[in-house]
């Protein structure tokens, strides 16, 4: 298996081997589980990203008012070209209101890109399905996240991760699905 250059500032993570045999590739569930156990970190920049799964969840996190759960759409992307091909990178899209999606929200912006920049008729979550993302290839921006620490001590690199911050365009996929 190929590994990321150890001399890089980024943590050494395994990347799936390049293979055209579909039986050699792990399932999306296996890839996401591997990311949860060992978060991939890749340099910030633009990548071609394949959306392998779209989930709705309530991850435990620290918010403005302290620790708690908030509803989010979690999109799981796989880098499909370049040195970091095979790396899994999530996008966390908060839902401020469970039934409505404000136009300024990240989910609204991502959904419009997946729909070829066509706005939905109504800003209701049930009319903006998560299935719009799955199986499509996007050009997106990835950022490197370093956790904030309340102390003067640096957090261990284990807590650093990469995430998708923006989608720029739909490369491959039918926007009507």
For 83-95, what is each residue's pLDDT tens digit? 888 888 999 888 8
Confidence of residue 10 (pLDDT cuts 50, 70, 90): very low
pLDDT in tens, 27-53: 777 777 776 667 778 899 999 999 998
For residue range 131-170, list pLDDT tens digits in order. 888 889 999 999 988 877 666 777 777 778 889 999 999 9
Q: Please give the Cα distance from 63 to 65 (Å, whole number).
A: 6
Neighbours of 173 (CB within 10 A): 18
Q: Would you list the domain boundaries of the chain?
A: 2-172
How many H helices and E strands in the chain?
2, 9
Instruction: Give the per-residue pLDDT at 6.
Output: 40
């Amino acid at each position: 298996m190929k590994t990321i250059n150890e001399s890089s500032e980024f943590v050494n993570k395994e990347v799936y081997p390049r293979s055209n045999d579909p039986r050699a590739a792990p399932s999306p569930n296996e890839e996401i589980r591997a990311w949860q156990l060992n978060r991939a970190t890749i340099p910030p920049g633009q990548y071609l990203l394949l959306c392998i799964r779209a989930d709705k969840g309530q991850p435990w996190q620290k918010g403005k008012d302290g620790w708690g759960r908030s509803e989010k759409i979690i999109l799981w992307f796989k880098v499909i070209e370049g040195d970091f091909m095979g790396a899994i990178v999530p996008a966390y899209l908060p839902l401020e209101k469970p039934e409505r999606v404000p136009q300024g929200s990240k989910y609204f912006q991502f959904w419009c890109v997946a729909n070829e920049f066509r706005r939905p008729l109504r800003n209701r979550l049930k009319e903006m399905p998560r299935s719009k993302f799955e199986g499509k290839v996007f050009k997106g921006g990835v950022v490197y996240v370093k956790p904030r620490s309340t102390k003067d001590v640096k957090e261990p690199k284990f807590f650093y991760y990469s995430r998708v911050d923006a989608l720029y365009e739909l490369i491959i996929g039918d926007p009507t699905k």
